[in-house]
Structures are given as structure tokens and as C-alpha cells.
Amino acid sequence: MSAGSAPEVISLGCRLNISESETIRALLAEERNVVVVNSCAVTSEAVRQTRQAIRRARRANPDARLLVTGCAADIEREALAAMPEVDGLVPNAAKLDARAWNVARPATLAPVNRTRAFVAVQNGCDHACTFCVIPQGRGPSQSLPVAAVLSEVERHLDQGAAEVVITGVDVTSWGHDLPGAPPLGSLIGAILDAFPGLGRLRLSSLDGVEIDPQLFELLAGEARVMPHLHLSLQHGHDLILKRMKRRHLRADAVSLVTRLKALRPDIAIGADIIAGFPTEDDAMHEANRSIIRELDIVHAHIFPYSPRPYTPAARMPQVDPQVVKARAAQLREEAALVRAEWLQSLVGKAHSVLAERDGTGYAPHFARVSLPEGTAPGTIVTITPAKLEEGLLQ
């Protein structure tokens, strides 16, 4: 990075971080020779990757001012501050405040230049899952009012976004802290009503137990809401779910997916699943593995459990790390089989694909599709793939 280079923002972790990184980049647009690492702390591996990203950024930009924000900047504050590569930390709660970066907030934020726009409608979390450290880095749930959400969506649409992704730390808790405690479904309905020209709206990870009736109806029957539901599932065994302090049981997840698929058979299910949670025995692990096929989870995010500081789960009897690693591998193997079968079923069928900048794009159910050379990013094209190769429809 030269002395006159525009700021670089490196984003790790969740879609909310991606959205926030765009705002940080816009806030720092007039700054020069600055690198920001927007960190993640959801697992010990995420913290390791954060430290790795910091070192890599420093090697690539030896003269830049290197700042760290995000969840790890709060949860691992002392450790990151002690890294010689780091020049400063910006608290996670303040990272969208221009004053935290010592800059003036621009009257209008610069275009995001993305085919898909991430709109953060909520931050923080009021729940106390025993494995999760994120409330320590994000604080209590805070919702963006409807008018502010609509303004943000309009900004992205004016800048050419073809798809809007609604995101947050605990998206389905949106509205709980607003007057009248409106449900998330009312917000999604308001977005669709306000922008009839918005053709593609996608939702990030949802807590199935908090999907309200209006949101269920939109997921099941609204063509502009993409047929893609990613669940914050975490496990497939009831006792582990209770020890995680989740608010659903296996049967709740099965019922939700069964009802949705009956109304919208093409809906693609994704889920976050933790392998090797404390006290997990072989039978519990098998229940975890079997739910992948029972729910037909085609977008599985598998996380080996790692104890996080100051969480109740860290004080529970731990599973041997090598067993955790092996169980995570088995979950990934099962998920890969289910996903491959699903992708193969999509060959020979026409799909409406939103073109990205890397020569691929995403169908409504989030299958990744190879595009003809020269396809303009941000355009929506109809593709009928002839084969599946290395996980990519072509």
C-alpha cells in the first residue's frame, strides 16, 4: 500500500461484519494509508484467523496505520493490543461512529459497488447460549427502526444492487426493543411493499423458534423472498440443545422445515451445526449427523466446538479435542453427500442467476453457478447447467 492508497478493510466472520465493513470503508474514504481488520471471535479458530489476518496485513502494508475492530477487539482486547503489528483498537460498539475513527461523517456514503447489498437491521443479542461469546462483543439486541431500514435499502437499490440481504446478529429478534415489539415479518413485508421493483430479497441466519406467522408466509409463498432458509440450529440432540440453552428442540426444527417444504418444495435449507459440544457422547453425535439428512441441509456450516472465555460451556466436561475434530469431519462428510445430491438434481434445469464479479453467480436457492465469460456483474441471467464439477454447476 502506497502513501496515497485508499483505506483497506479486511472483514472476517459473519455477514453483519461484511455489511459493517462497507460502512467503515465509506467512513474512511478520504483517509490514506490505513488498514482496518474487522475481526471475529465466535470460535477460537476465528480468533486465530484474526491474528493471522493482522500479521498478513502488516507484512503487506508495513507503513500503514493498522487498526482492529469487531468482536475480537472487545473479547480479546488485551491480547490483540499487545500484538506489535497493531496500532490501535476501535470498540465494536463504536465502529460505525465516525468519531471513533476521528473523521467527519460524510453527508452521503460512497457506493458499495456490490451486486448483493447487506443491510444490517439488528445488532447484539439478548439470549445466553452457553457456548456463545458474541453478546460480550455485541451487547444487547438493538433494532434499526423501519424508516431507517427502508432508507438503507433505498440507498443500495439506487446504487444498483440487484439483491438485498437482511442481516444481523440475531435477526429474528428484530423489533423486540421497538415500540409495540413488531415481528420481523412486518419489516420484511414493509420492504417488499415499499420497493416493488426489488426482485430478490434474502435473509441471513434465522432462529427458527422466532419465525413469526407473517415471516413464515413470506418464506413459503413470496417469490421475491429467495427460497433459502439458513437456521441457527446448532445441534440435533435435545439434551445438548438444552445444555446449549437453545430455545428449540429437534422436533421443532423438523416441523418447521417439513411445513415449509410442503408449501415451497424448492426451498434450500442451511444450518449452523456445532460438533463435539461438552458432554456429547457417540449417540448424541449420531443424532447430530442424522439431522443433516432429515432436514436435507444443503448449506451446512460445521463448527468444531471450542471453549470461549467466560462462557458456561467452557466449564462443562469437555470432549477430547481429537474426538471433536473427528466428529466435525464426519459431519462435513455427511453434509457434502447431501449437498452433492442436491446440486446434481439441479443439473439440466433453468435457474435465474445473479452474476458476481468472479465469473460465477448464485441461483435463488444459493447454489453457485458458473457463468459465460463476459457476463456483467449485477445482472440476472438464466442458466441451464449441463454438469456439476467440483461443487460448481456449469
pLDDT band, residue 2 (cuts 50/70/90): very low
Lowest-pLDDT choice from 85-99, 202-216, 222-236, 248-262: 85-99
What pLDDT score was predicted for residue 3?
A: 47
User: What is the C-alpha to C-alpha distance for residues 312 and 315, in angstroms, rounded to an integer?
Assistant: 6
Instruction: Give the mean model confidence (pLDDT) for residues 231-256.
Output: 97
What pLDDT score was predicted for residue 65?
A: 92
H helices of 206-320, in order, are 213-221, 238-244, 250-263, 282-294
Cα angle 92, 96, 98 (rounded to 5 degrees) comes to 120
What pLDDT score was predicted for residue 200?
A: 97
Instruction: Give the mean model confidence (pLDDT) for residues 278-284.
Output: 98
Q: In this structure, which CATH number among 3.90.1300.10, 3.80.30.20, 3.40.50.300, 2.40.50.140 belongs to the domain 116-345? A: 3.80.30.20
Instruction: Give the mean model confidence (pLDDT) for residues 62-89.
Output: 92
Q: pTM, whole model, 2 decimals?
A: 0.86
Q: Is the pLDDT of residue 107 over 70?
A: no
User: What is the C-alpha to C-alpha distance for residues 30 and 25, in angstroms, rounded to an integer?
Assistant: 9
Looking at the chain, the domain(s) classified CATH 3.80.30.20 span 116-345
Give 39's strand partners.
70
What pLDDT score was predicted for residue 26?
A: 85
pLDDT digits 0-9 by tens, 293-336? 999 999 999 999 999 888 999 999 999 999 999 999 999 999 99
Looking at the chain, the domain(s) classified CATH 3.40.50.12160 span 8-101
Residue 283: phi and psi, rounded to 5, are: -65, -40
Output the CATH code of domain 8-101.
3.40.50.12160
Residue 155: phi and psi, rounded to 5, are: -60, -45
User: What is the C-alpha to C-alpha distance for residues 25 and 35, in angstroms, rounded to an integer?
Assistant: 10
